[in-house]
Structure 1
Amino acid sequence: MTMKRITKHLLSLLFCASLVHLAVAEEVKVSSLDGNTILTVQIDKQISWSVKKYDQLVLPKVTIGMTVNGNQLAQSPKLKSNKEIEKNETFEVIVPLKNRQVSNNYKELQLAFKGGFGLHFRVYNEGVAYRFYTSMRGEIEINNELMDITFPDGSSSFFPKEVSTYSHYERNYLKLDIDSIPVGDFCSLPVLFNQDDEQLRVLFSEANLYDYPNLFLELTGDKHLAARFPMAVKATIPQPGARVDRNVIITKEYDYIAKTKGKRTFPWRLFVITNDDKTMLEQDMVMQLSDPLKLTDTDWIKPGKVAWDWWNDNNIYGVDFESGLNTATYKYFIDFASEYGIEYVILDEGWTKSTTEILDFNPDMDVKEIIRYGEEKGVGIILWCLWKPLDENMKEILDTYASWGAKGIKVDFMQRADQYMVNSYEQIAKECAARQLLVDYHGSYKPNGLRKAYPNVISYEGVKGNENHKWSDEITPIHNTTLPFIRMAVGPMDYTPGAMVNMQEENFNISFSRPMSMGTRCHQLAMYVVFESGLQMMCDNPSNYYKEEESTRFISKMPSTWDKSIALEARVGEFVVMARQKGENWYIGGMTNWDERSMELDLSFLPEGIFEMVLFKDGVNANKYAQDYQVKTIKVTQSDQLTIKLAKGGGFAAILRPIQ
C-alpha cells in the first residue's frame, strides 16, 4: 500500500470515528421558569454541564462523576432515559428565618444511566442544582465524587481558605482572583464567586447532606476548582495538652469518603446565580432542596433571644455578691432576662463539674435550682456541652438534662466534616427532639438543610462572629457586611450580636474579659434585623444592658423569626438593608462597612396605612464616639422616602407599628 493510500485510509478511519463520536455524544437542556437560565448537560466520555444566564455563559463547564466500589460510574456513560418535570408548590417553615411560606418553583431534569445510577438537575429562577442517585443492592463505598468547575477569565472569589478539613468553619472571606490562588489551596463552603467585573455573582454550597461528608473546593489548575472530601474516619486519639477534652487526632482513615446504602440520593450541589446582590439575601435554596419535616410534634419548639454569659466573662457589677460561675450570678442573669422578656439564659463553659464530667455541675452552681428559678421567672435554660463526651454517652446525658428541665443544648467543638460527624449531627437532632430539647451547634460546619427536617436545630455557629473580638481585630464592619451574602445565605448563623461597648477602629482594643466591638452602637442593633438565627444571643453582660436601658428595650422587642423578608439595598462587603415582617409590625436594619454613606430608604413595601416608626440611627458624633446614637419617633406611610446618614462602621434599626 502506497503512502498516499495509507494516508487516505487513516483519514477515512478518523472521519468514521468522529461520526461515531458525534452519534454517541448527547446534549440535554432544561431552562428556568422565567426563561433566563439555561442548563445544558453534555454526555460524552464524561458527564459535564454548563449554565447560561442573561445570555451570558456563567459556568462554561462543570465535569461531574462518582467512583463507587472502585468503579467510575460516569466514565463513558450510557443514557437510558431522560424526563423533565415542573413543580409549583409552597411549604411552611416551622422556624421561619426569612419567610413563613416558601415557594418551591422549578423545572427538574431526571436522567437515568446504565450501571445503576442517575442524576437530577433542578433549575430555579435564582440558580441551579444537581445531585447523583444510585440504585444498587446492599452497601456501597463511595471512593470519591468528582466535580471540576471551570471558571471564565477574570473570575474572582470571596475565599474562606482552610488549612484542614478538620475545621470549625470560622473563616474570613478573602477577596482573591482565582488566578492568584495557589494550586492546592482549598476552602470550605459556602463560597462566593464574582464575574464580569463583579456584576455577576455565583454562590456555591450544598444541601440535604445525610450520611455523607461535607464538600470542600480545591484549586487544581488554571481557573479550575475541584471537589475535595474528608475521608471516612477509622480511628482517633485525644490530642494531648490543654484541649484533650475536645480535640482529637485522626490516626487512621478508610480509603473511601462514605460507606452507605446502595439505593439513595446524594447531596444537592447548588449554585445561586444573580446580577443583583439582593437575591442572595432573599433566596432560600438550601431549604427548597432539603428533606421535609421528620418530626410529628413541633409545638414545643420556641425560638427566642438568649442572655449569654461567656462573651462578657460573667463580668456583672453593681451587685452585693462576687460575680462568676456561681448560682447568684445566674439568678441575676435570669432576673434580667425575665424583666426584658428574653426567652432563655445559657449556661456556657464552666457550669459542669469538668468539661468531660458533664452529668454533674460544679460545686458553686446549683443547676437544678437555677433551672427551677428560671421556670418561676418564665426563662428557659440552655446547657453548653462538649461534643466528645456527649457522643460517648448521649442518651444518659440528654436524659439527665431533660429531667432537670433544661430547654436545649449548645453542643460545641465538633470541628469535623466527615461522614461520622454528619451522622452525629442528625443523631443529636433526633435524640434531642425526642426529649423536646433545642440544639445550637457550635464549633460546627455550615447549615446544610438539617433544620428543615428537624426544626429543633435552631442555629449554627460556623461563622467568625462577635466572640472573636475577645482575641482579634478581624471582625470589622467589612466582614459584617460580607456575612449576609455568603454564610447567612445558606442558613442561620449564631454570630452573637449585642455589644454595648462599641469602638471605631482607632479606639478598638482586644480584651478577653471586657470585650468590645468594632463599629457603632447602631451597627450592632441592626444585626438583630439583618442577621438570621432562631436563637439570637445578647452577648453583653446584664449590668451593661441595665446601664444602656434604651438600647436594651429596643433589642428586647426584636423577634427572632419572621413572616416575610425583603432586601432593600445590598452590596457584598459594602452595605445591606433588610426589611422584615412579623405579624402587623415591620422591622428594618441597615449596616455599612467603614465608609460613611447616606441611604435612601424607600418605604413602598409597607401595606397601606399609617405606621409609627421608632428609629435608632448613628449620632452626629458616631465617627469619633461609636456609642453615640439618636432616637426618633415619626409617622410614616408607604409613600415616604427617608434619607438616613450612616457613620463609618455604622448602621440603623427601626420598628414600625401600624397606628390603629
Structure 2
Amino acid sequence: MTMSQATARVSGDQTLDPERGKWIVRCSLWVICFLVLGSCQRTPHDNPLAVASPDGRVEVVAGRLPGGKLAIRVRHDGMDVIAPSTVGWRLAADEFGPLVITSVQPRPSVAAPDRTALPYRELIVATREGGGARRQVNLRLRAYDTGAAFRLELPRQPAFGRVSIAAETTELRFPRDYACLAVRHSEYLNSHEGDYAAVSASALRRGALYDLPLSCRTGRGGETVAIAESGVERYPGAYLVRAGAHGVAVRLTPLPQNDAIAVSATLPSTGLLAPWRVVMVADRPEQLIENSLVAELAPPSRIGDERWVRPGKAAWAWWAGLDASGVPNAGYNDATYRRYIDFAARLGLPYFVIDWGWAARPNGDDELADITRFRPDVDIPALSRYAAARGVRLWLWTNWKTVNGQMDEVFALYQRWGIAGIKVDYVYRQDQVAIGWYHRLLAAAARHKLMVNIHGSPVPRGLERTYPNFLTEEGVMGTEYNKWSRKVTAGYNVRLAYTRAAIGPMDYAPGAFRNVAPAAFVARKKLPEVMTTRAHQLAMFVVYPSPLQSLADAPAAYLDDRNRPLPETGFLRLVPATWDETRGVAGAWGKWIAVARRSGKRWFVGVMNDGDVRSVSVPLRFLAPGRWHATALIDGDRPTVVAGHEGPVSPATSLRIPLHATGGAVLVLDPA
C-alpha cells in the first residue's frame, strides 16, 4: 500500500505489518533530518510528511520536535524560506502532552469547483497525545505554486465539549536575517493604519505587535515571502511578534473581557479550525501583488445569488470638506449631496458615498447618531430617488455601534430607501467576538442586498470571497491622513504595493488632484493636498485593488476653468474597479513598482515611484502576440500636470519611462 493509495497509520500501539514497519522507519529518519541536518535531500514522494505544489517548487513539511511538539517548514526551489518552526496551541487549563502521529492522509491536486481556483496538493497529519486524555489534533498542509499554507484543527471528540485556548505556540522562523517591510502597533485595539517601514527581522521590536502581512526579502535573488492568514471564523485575528534571533510568532488577539483567553467556544460538529497560516512566495517582490492565496483559502460564497453585487467607482464628499462649487452653504444638506450625485452621473460613476453627517443626532454631534433618521436639510429617500434617475446609487456611512443589535431592522429600512451599500466605521477590533460580528454583519447585509465597506477594520483575511457583497475595507493609512499629517508620502504609497495591497481589497480613496511637492505641503481639513504628482494618483487606481474605488477630491478638482473634464479625468472614467488578470511587471523593493491589470482585452499599467527621480524600464511581455496601441499619461513639468503620449507597441517592447520624485505613470494598452 502506498501513500497515493490510502491513509498511512504510524502509531506504535498496533500490530505492524512489514509495510507499516517500513513506514515508521521512514518517519523516524525524517524527524532526524528535520531536527539535525536542516535539509534532507529527499523528494516529497520519499517523505511521507511532505507535500509539494503542482509545479514542484513549493514544499511544506511536517514533523515533531523534541518533547512531541508539532513543527513545519516551508521550502522553495529546494531551500528553506521558513526554517523548522513550532506549531501548536496552549490551552487555558493545561498543555497538550507529547503528540504522536497516528495517520498521514495525502490528497491529490485539488481545484475548488466554484471558481477558477489555484490547484494545490494537501496533506492531513493526524496526531493524539501519547498519554493522559489522548486528545486529538490535526495539522493540515497545503502547497500551491504561489506559496504554502497550514492550519491546526481540533476534531470533535469526547475530551472537548467546550474549549478555551490561551494562545497559539505557532512560529515562523527564518533561516537568515530577512529584510522586511512591517507595520508596528503597541495595542491590540487599533485602526490597523500605519507605515510598512523597512526593518530587518533581527531588528523587530520585542513586545511590539506587527500587523499582517509581513513581507520579507529572503536574500536569494529576488525571492520574497509574505506572511498572512485566511479563513478566520470562531477565532480571533492574529498579530506577529518577534521570536528568536530572526523570526516571528503568532500572537492571537485576546478576548476583550479576559485577556488571558483568546478562544472560547463550544466545538461545532466540524471541530474548531484555526485560520490558515499563509506563506506567500514570489520570485520577484513585485509579483506578490498578483498572489491570491488569502482569498483562495477562505470559504466559498455563502450569499447565494450574487448578481446584485455591482463593483464600481464612487464620488465622495468627506475628504474635500463637502466642497461644492456654486452651492450656497455647502455642507450636510441635500443641495450639496445633489452636486456630487450630478458629478457622479456626468463621470459615469455608479455610486456616491454619503459619509459622516447625514444621520440625525438628537443628542449632539459628539453622541451616536440615529441612523434610521436624517438631520434637517437632508432627505435620504428623496436623494436616493434623485440619484437613481441619473443612474447613481447611494452608500451610507454608519458607526458600527449604531448598527449593532439592530442589523436587520436598519438594513431592511435601507433596502426600502434604495441604498446600495453601507460604510461601517470605527470597529478597531479583531478579537473572537468581533470576528463573529463581521460574519453576522456581512450575512445580514446580504439578506437585504446591501454591499459593505468596513473602516477602522483589520486587514483582509479573505472574507470578500465568503461574502462577495463585502467589496472593500480600510485597514490602511489612506488619503484621509493628508488632512492632518505628513505621513502619507510617495515612498509609503509604494511600500503599500509590496505589502497591504497584496492580501486583499484596500479602500485607500485615491485620485486626489490638489498635488504639491512635499516642501510645499501643508496639512489642512478643507480642500486638502497630497505630496505626490497627479500621475502617481492615477496609478493607484491600477496598483491598489478595491472593487469600490472612492474618488477622493471635490468635483471642481476634476474639471478645468471652463467646467470640462480634465484629460486625466477621462482616465478615471475609463479605468475599471475590478480585473480579470493581474501581473507584477517590474519594480525595486519598496522604491517603485509597475503593475499590469487586464479587463477584457484591454490592459492597464500603473507605475508608482517614491521620492527619488529615476528612469525605469517597463517590459510588456504580458501582452498577447500581435500589435498593440499604447496611450500613456506620465509626469509633466509640475505635480499637477500630466503629459500624454501614444504609439504602437508589442510584447517585445520595453518602455523607458522617466519618473519624477513622488511621480508615476499609467498606460492603457489596446489590441491594434
Fold match by TM threshold 0.5: yes
Which has the bigger relative contact order, CA under 8 A and spacing at least 6? 1
The 5 Å alignment of 1:363-402 reads 363-402=376-415
1:493 pairs with 2:506: yes
SS at match of 2:371: coil
The question of whether the paired residues in 1 share the 8 Å contact of 2:104 and 2:125 is answered with yes
**Greater CA drift, 566-575 or 476-485:** 566-575
**Greater CA drift, 35-44 or 373-382:** 35-44
Q: 1:425-446 CA distances to partner (integer Å, 9 max, x unpaired)?
A: 1111100000000000100001
**Greater CA drift, 607-616 or 546-555:** 607-616
Unaligned runs of 5+ in 2: 1-24, 35-48, 129-134, 362-367
Residue 64 (structure 2) aligned to one of 15, 21, 43: 43
1:506–1:197 distance in 2 versus 1, CA, 3 Å: farther
1:156 pairs with 2:179: yes
Give 1:497 shift: 0.1
1:563–1:574 distance in 2 versus 1, CA, 3 Å: same
Paired residue for 1:455? 468
Paired residue for 2:341? 334
Paired residue for 1:599? 616
Paired residue for 1:530? 543
C-alpha distance in 2, partners of 1:566/1:386?
Answer: 36
The 5 Å alignment of 1:132-147 reads 132-137=152-157, 138-147=161-170
Counterpart residue identity of residue 474, structure 1:
K
SS at match of 1:78: strand
Q: TM-score, normalised by structure 1?
A: 0.88
Give 1:605 shift: 2.5
Paired residue for 1:84? 106
1:535–1:468 distance in 2 versus 1, CA, 3 Å: same
Counterpart residue identity of residue 613, structure 1:
A
Q: TM-score, normalised by structure 2?
A: 0.87
Give 1:156 shift: 3.3
Q: 1:263-295 CA distances to partner (integer Å, 9 max, x unpaired)?
A: 132210001133411331111101221111112
Give 1:519 shift: 1.4
SS at match of 1:501: coil
The 5 Å alignment of 1:188-587 reads 188-196=211-219, 199-234=222-257, 253=259, 255-262=261-268, 263-317=271-325, 319-354=326-361, 355-547=368-560, 549-587=566-604
Give 1:22 shift: 6.2
Paired residue for 2:4? none
1:653–1:128 distance in 2 versus 1, CA, 3 Å: same
The question of whether the paired residues in 1 share the 8 Å contact of 2:167 and 2:261 is answered with no
The question of whether the paired residues in 1 share the 8 Å contact of 2:464 and 2:470 is answered with yes
Paired residue for 2:655? 642
Give 1:578 shift: 1.5
1:112 pairs with 2:126: yes
C-alpha distance in 2, partners of 1:57/1:23?
Answer: 19
C-alpha distance in 1, partners of 2:401/2:642?
Answer: 44
Counterpart residue identity of residue 551, structure 1:
E
Give 1:576 shift: 1.2
Give 1:143 shift: 2.5
C-alpha distance in 1, partners of 2:378/2:576?
Answer: 31
C-alpha distance in 2, partners of 1:302/1:347?
Answer: 18
Unaligned runs of 5+ in 1: 1-18, 94-100, 235-251
1:24–1:383 distance in 2 versus 1, CA, 3 Å: same
1:356–1:254 distance in 2 versus 1, CA, 3 Å: farther
**Greater CA drift, 55-64 or 552-561:** 55-64
Q: 1:150-208 CA distances to partner (integer Å, 9 max, x unpaired)?
A: 32343332121001110111011122223223321221211122332784322101001
Q: 1:357-385 CA distances to partner (integer Å, 9 max, x unpaired)?
A: 11111102111111110011110100000
The question of whether the paired residues in 2 share the 8 Å contact of 1:91 and 1:104 is answered with no
Give 1:260 shift: 4.1
**Greater CA drift, 600-609 or 370-379:** 600-609
C-alpha distance in 2, partners of 1:39/1:406?
Answer: 46
SS at match of 1:369: helix
Paired residues in the alignment total 609
C-alpha distance in 2, partners of 1:181/1:261?
Answer: 36
1:537–1:72 distance in 2 versus 1, CA, 3 Å: same
Paired residue for 1:168? 191
SS at match of 1:543: helix
Paired residue for 1:241? none
C-alpha distance in 2, partners of 1:437/1:308?
Answer: 18
SS at match of 1:518: coil
**Greater CA drift, 551-560 or 189-198:** 189-198
The question of whether the paired residues in 2 share the 8 Å contact of 1:480 and 1:573 is answered with no
Q: 1:402-452 CA distances to partner (integer Å, 9 max, x unpaired)?
A: 111100000000001101110111111100000000000100001111111
Give 1:221 shift: 4.2
Counterpart residue identity of residue 331, structure 1:
R
SS at match of 1:392: coil
The question of whether the paired residues in 2 share the 8 Å contact of 1:126 and 1:279 is answered with no
Counterpart residue identity of residue 255, structure 1:
I
**Greater CA drift, 295-304 or 186-195:** 186-195
Cα RMSD between the aligned structures? 2.1
The question of whether the paired residues in 1 share the 8 Å contact of 2:165 and 2:261 is answered with no
SS at match of 2:608: strand
- Percent identity, aligned pairs only, is 29
Counterpart residue identity of residue 344, structure 1:
Y
Q: 1:122-164 CA distances to partner (integer Å, 9 max, x unpaired)?
A: 1122211100111125332222221123323433321210011
1:123–1:296 distance in 2 versus 1, CA, 3 Å: same
1:176–1:260 distance in 2 versus 1, CA, 3 Å: farther
Give 1:224 shift: 4.2
Compare the two structures and name the one with the higher strand fraction. 1
**Greater CA drift, 54-63 or 402-411:** 54-63
